[in-house]
Amino acid sequence: MILRIFGHDFHYECENLCRVWFPNEKINIVYDNSGNDAKEVVTRCISIEGGNRLEVFVSLDGKEKSLEAVVTAPESELRDKSELKTAQLIFEAMSELTGYTPPWGVLTGVRPSKLMLRLIADMGEEAAMNYFLGSLLVSPEKAKLANTVAKAEEEIVNLSDKNSFSLYVSIPFCPTRCSYCSFVSHSIANSNAKKMLPEYLEKLGEEIALTGAVASELGLKLESVYFGGGTPGVLEAPQMDRLLSQIENNFDLSTVREYTVEAGRPDTITPEKLRVLKLHNVGRISINPQTFNQRTLELIGRNHSVEQSLKAYMLAKTYGFKSINMDLIAGLPEETFEDFAASVDTAVALSPENITVHTLALKRSSELNASGAGVANGNTAKRMLEYASQVLTGRGYAPYYMYRQSKCVGNLENVGWCLDGHECLYNVFMMEECHSVLAVGAGAVTKLREPNGTNIERIFNYKYPYEYISGFDKITERKNGIKSFYLSY
Ligand code: SF4
């Protein structure tokens, strides 16, 4: 696709918006008339007396649409208003030519609920809703969703204070690699990765000790612990036991409100591992079927069966965890609306305390997605999420957490739904950046939040386990950044 920019600097917004309809298309931004492509978007901003005249021309495989508008505003507001108007014109033209009207309108940011919360604080709820509907062109259903989630998140954010922090532990290993995965995670089916795991855990233990010492020296208060990945469930029961003991030995867990281990793949779950998790007071676990359609599981490279998902859930239920989460994904390859609806019905019939409904993201680094072949289109994915919303609401689940990713099918969203009192606090703390997250392990990113302000600083660990192991000295050096950050405020 060619995106032509004349007379303005809104190229970033225009590019993001074009990607909503064409997530896999390479977008060439040009500032002249060079080149040609069957898909072309031309945007022009012309200065006129008291404002700007904006022109948008879209041509998609022979179908064309031209739109224009005049924006008048004081000088200080003119640029932003012109940018928004250009986005609205692109939205109108693209929606008409493609037959898909994205329900999030021109909103391309990843945290609509955070924006909603800020707007409510600035202008009040009614004006914030009107801005979502009238200016950002968000559908009434999604505006309501953003509003509901914003309120739920606010309550959780308010639990946090200036000394709060959460701990994230990264286990970037999985039984096999799913075709849609864009995370750095090694399949332990590969013998090198399997061999690396014990050494990885050694270093991880060292980093846990180091991080615990810093947290204690700074007098920080631990609110939540989250094991993610990857699939923490790939650890054998004794490895898990040792790791969880290391957490206990190095952190004061007396203030912890929530302890989550994303067990992840159903095929990793055993009675021994569940016993270990329970013994160490883990309260929330995730068992992620993604779909209850056997053919899809095979297609996406998840080496487990529907039967295993059901059995793992039933087994975990007998251990009395406070909350069990199940992840589902809308838009998986070859899945029809009916397939997805059946997965939602199955999950709801099991009544886990949390159900997180993701929309497939077409990431370049995943196996599946160079072509996006067989993936649901925007209109089907939209119907899938509408169905999930209707069924979950009917069964007493409420949305409490939401984020979006770039390249999500249909520019849709991921929503955490829960039964009353079962919100995953860590998800909200992390997404809303209301306190620091000290993160350990390969691929982990420590996010430091200024205790009395909003400044955020990040410390990156090495991405891959082999780099993490070989460059561990560097990691310990970087960890000093936590102390320097806090002492600078
Ligand atoms: S289980 Fe999750 S992290 Fe592991 S390969 Fe699949 S999508 Fe990636």
First to last CA, the chain: 47
CA of 177 to the centre of ligand 1 (A): 6
> Given this model, what pLDDT does residue 186 score?
81
Does residue 364 carry a pLDDT above 80?
Answer: no
Is 229 near ligand 1, meaning CB less than 6 Å away? Answer: yes
Local confidence band at 418 (pLDDT 50, 70, 90 cut-offs): very high
Is 174 near ligand 1, meaning CB less than 6 Å away? Answer: yes
Among 174, 286, 297, name the best residue to mutate to test ligand 1's pocket (greatest count of ligand atoms within 8 A of Cβ): 174
Q: Which residues pair with 51 in a beta bridge?
A: 48, 72
Order of strands, sheet of 28-30, starting from the edge strand that comes earlier in the sequence: 28-30, 2-6, 39-48, 51-60, 63-72
Among 171, 180, 181, name the best residue to mutate to test ligand 1's pocket (greatest count of ligand atoms within 8 A of Cβ): 181
Does residue 51 carry a pLDDT above 90?
Answer: yes
> Given this model, what pLDDT does residue 98 score?
95
Helical H segments across 99-165, by residue range: 112-123, 125-130, 140-157
List pLDDT tens digits, range 141-180.
Answer: 999 999 999 999 999 999 999 999 999 999 999 988 888 8
- The answer to whether 147 and 118 are in contact (CB under 8 A) is no
Residue with CA closest to ligand 1 atom 7: 181
- The answer to whether 294 and 335 are in contact (CB under 8 A) is no
Residue with CA closest to ligand 1 atom 8: 181
The domains found in the chain, sorted by start residue, are 2-98 (3.30.160), 112-156 (no CATH), 159-476 (3.80.30.20)
CA of 43 to the centre of ligand 1 (A): 40
* Residue 230 preceded by cis peptide, ω within 30: yes
Q: Tokens 């089907």 sit at which residue? A: 380
Is 332 near ligand 1, meaning CB less than 6 Å away? Answer: no
DSSP letters of 411-447?
A: G--EEEEE-TT---HHHHHHHHT-SEEEEESTT-EEE
List pLDDT tens digits, range 176-235.
Answer: 888 888 777 788 778 888 889 999 999 999 999 999 999 999 999 999 999 998 899 999
> Given this model, what pLDDT does residue 170 score?
97
Give the relative orientation of helices 140-157 and 425-432 as an angle to the nearest 10 degrees.
100
CA angle 275, 281, 286 (to 5 degrees): 70
Residue 187 CA: which ligand 1 atom is closest?
5
- What mean pLDDT do residues 355-373 have? 76
Q: Is this structure's pTM higher than 0.85?
A: yes
The whole-angstrom separation of Cα 440 and Cα 215 is: 13
CA of 395 to the centre of ligand 1 (A): 28
List pLDDT tens digits, range 252-270.
Answer: 999 999 999 998 899 999 9
Does residue 132 carry a pLDDT above 60?
Answer: yes
For 21, residues 6+ apart whose C-beta sits below 8 A from its C-beta are 94, 98, 100, 102, 378
CA angle 67, 71, 74 (to 5 degrees): 165
Among 170, 180, 182, 183, name the best residue to mutate to test ligand 1's pocket (greatest count of ligand atoms within 8 A of Cβ): 183
CA of 91 to the centre of ligand 1 (A): 33
- The answer to whether 170 and 228 are in contact (CB under 8 A) is yes
The whole-angstrom separation of Cα 356 and Cα 284 is: 14
Residue with CA closest to ligand 1 atom 3: 230
Does residue 365 carry a pLDDT above 80?
Answer: no
The whole-angstrom separation of Cα 222 and Cα 206 is: 19
For 300, residues 6+ apart whose C-beta sits below 8 A from its C-beta are 178, 179, 180, 290, 291, 332, 333, 368
Give the C-alpha distances (Å, rounded to integers) separating 27 from 39, 234, 368: 9, 39, 20
- Percent of the chain predicted with pLDDT > 90: 84
Does residue 39 carry a pLDDT above 60?
Answer: yes
Does residue 370 carry a pLDDT above 60?
Answer: no
The whole-angstrom separation of Cα 166 and Cα 224 is: 5
Residue 68, helix vs strand vs coil: strand
Is 131 near ligand 1, meaning CB less than 6 Å away? Answer: no
Give Rg (Cα) of the chain: 24
For 176, residues 6+ apart whose C-beta sits below 8 A from its C-beta are 187, 189, 301, 302, 303
Local confidence band at 25 (pLDDT 50, 70, 90 cut-offs): confident
Is 185 near ligand 1, meaning CB less than 6 Å away? Answer: yes
- The answer to whether 326 and 306 are in contact (CB under 8 A) is no
Residue with CA closest to ligand 1 atom 2: 230
> Given this model, what pLDDT does residue 251 score?
98
**Mean residue pLDDT across the chain:** 94
- The answer to whether 264 and 286 are in contact (CB under 8 A) is yes
- The answer to whether 117 and 153 are in contact (CB under 8 A) is yes
> Given this model, what pLDDT does residue 368 score?
67
Q: Which range is least confidently modeled, 83-92, 112-121, 389-398? A: 112-121
CA of 296 to the centre of ligand 1 (A): 15
> Given this model, what pLDDT does residue 303 score?
83
Does residue 371 carry a pLDDT above 60?
Answer: no
Is 268 near ligand 1, meaning CB less than 6 Å away? Answer: no
For 42, residues 6+ apart whose C-beta sits below 8 A from its C-beta are 4, 6, 55, 56, 57, 58
